[in-house]
Structure 1
Amino acid sequence: MTVQILRKKFTIGQYHQMIESGILTDRDHVELIQGEIIEKSPVDRHHAACVDRLTELLVLKLFRKALIRVQSPILLSDNSEPQPDLSILQRREDFYHAGHPTPNNIFALVEVSDSTIEFDRDVKVPIYAQEQIPEIWLVNLNNTQIERYHQPIANTYQHRQIFNLEETLNFQAFPDVPIEVHQIFR
């Protein structure tokens, strides 16, 4: 006998109602991924330090060129509102007070991964491709390298490149701004 498990999927509206009514609070470290409320992994010191280094580096290098948001929601569809570690966004005077950034506002996203590497690679990256996010960096803390995905098509990226400590890369939107990989991992 096969048992079929039914899952309740949520929309962005329902998710926000749970936040507004206090069902979900700041203590609930969750994000909405394809209609499911996913608990985020606790952030350890290595992950936090890498996010902080990247934030400082990108703010300095992209000052007045882009807005850097840290671990804040982006609105991808009616059923996905992930919170990437870093979002590199078009600048807006209201700093997105009127609403979370959408794919049209996003230059690139960065996910810092250690224990979540498979989830980020196998679940989040395809969602980002499906939503036409131009570029994703997966900072792989386990292997001390950056996986760069760009040129989305359907639910995948046409190009995936690996960058090691001694290499330099840049965001496609900012080809004149080199980022040395070793600066991210120090």
Structure 2
Amino acid sequence: MSVDPEIHWPIPPKGGWTADDLDRLPNLPPHTELIDGSLVFLSPQTLFHSRAVSFFEWQLYHQAPEDLEVIREFTIDIDRRNRPEPDVIVVGETGCPDLNETRLPAASVLLAIEVVSEDSVERDREVKPAKYARAGIPHFWRVENDNGRAVIYVFEREPATGSYTSTGIFHDRLKVTRPFPIDLDLTQITAKRRVE
């Protein structure tokens, strides 16, 4: 395998990259995340992943109270060495003060959603939820593809322990009252749009 002499891979500094480096490093691929001081590049996404992210962005946008904002694929600051990019986040109004921002503080996030991909199973099931809980994000949803059907694992942060506890597993319909009333027909995630 030959190496393209024009490609210059970034060499991490001693101690790893920082959250600020994501804004300064040239030529990073889109949706690069920082996890424990290491750059994480995302692989091409599946159709299931794309449809699930669009579904949650659209549905939550229409069901969220007006003082909340729904944003897809946007990085959040957890700490100096961690700047992950959840697939969808719901943030309070104070979380988006400047339209030129490239990231939001984790403290402004009410709900983080990760759609699990083949290359992100461990990160989405173990690494990111632990970091989101420590950062104080009250709600976390993990979306998995079960033979073409979405399964949603819903978690809420338990204040005494600072970790997530499961509040439900949803297959065809997700109906919850927190962080706000939400009612979703999950069978629509993989359904094709019909032209009438």
TM-score range (shorter-chain normalised) is: 0.7 to 0.9
Unpaired segments ≥5 residues, structure 1: 1-6
Look up the equivalent residue of 1:150 and give its one-letter code.
E
Query: What's 1:57 paired with?
Result: 59
1:95-114 aligned at under 5 Å gives the runs 97-98=100-101, 100-114=103-117
Instruction: Tell me, in whole angstroms, the C-alpha distance in 1 between the residues paired with 2:82 and 2:145.
Output: 25
Matches within 5 A, 1:1-186: 8-18=15-25, 22=26, 24-25=27-28, 27-62=29-64, 64-92=66-94, 94=97, 97-98=100-101, 100-115=103-118, 116-142=120-146, 144-152=150-158, 156-157=163-164, 159-170=165-176, 172-174=178-180, 176-186=181-191
Q: Deviations over 1:1-49 (max 9, x none)?
A: xxxxxx851112333321xxx2x33x35421011111111221211111
Q: 1:28 to 1:181 in 2, by over 3 A?
A: closer
CA distance in 2, matches of 1:95, 1:169: 33
Code of the residue aligned with 1:85 in structure 2: it is D
- 16 and 97 in structure 1: CA distance in 2 versus 1, 3 angstrom threshold: closer
What's the CA shift string for 1:99-155, capped at 9, x where partnerless?
Answer: 622122111001111312332111111111111111110011136311111114667
Cα root mean square deviation, aligned: 2.5
| TM-score of the two chains, using structure 1 as the length reference | 0.80
Q: Which amino acid aligns with 1:11?
A: T
Q: Distance in 1 between matches of 2:46 and 2:172?
A: 25
Structure with greater proportional strand content: 2
Instruction: Normalising by structure 2, report the TM-score.
Output: 0.76
Percent identical pairs in the alignment equals: 20
Deviation at 1:185, TM superposition (A): 4.7
State the Cα distance separating 1:96 from its structure 2 match: 5.1
Report how many residues are paired.
Answer: 173
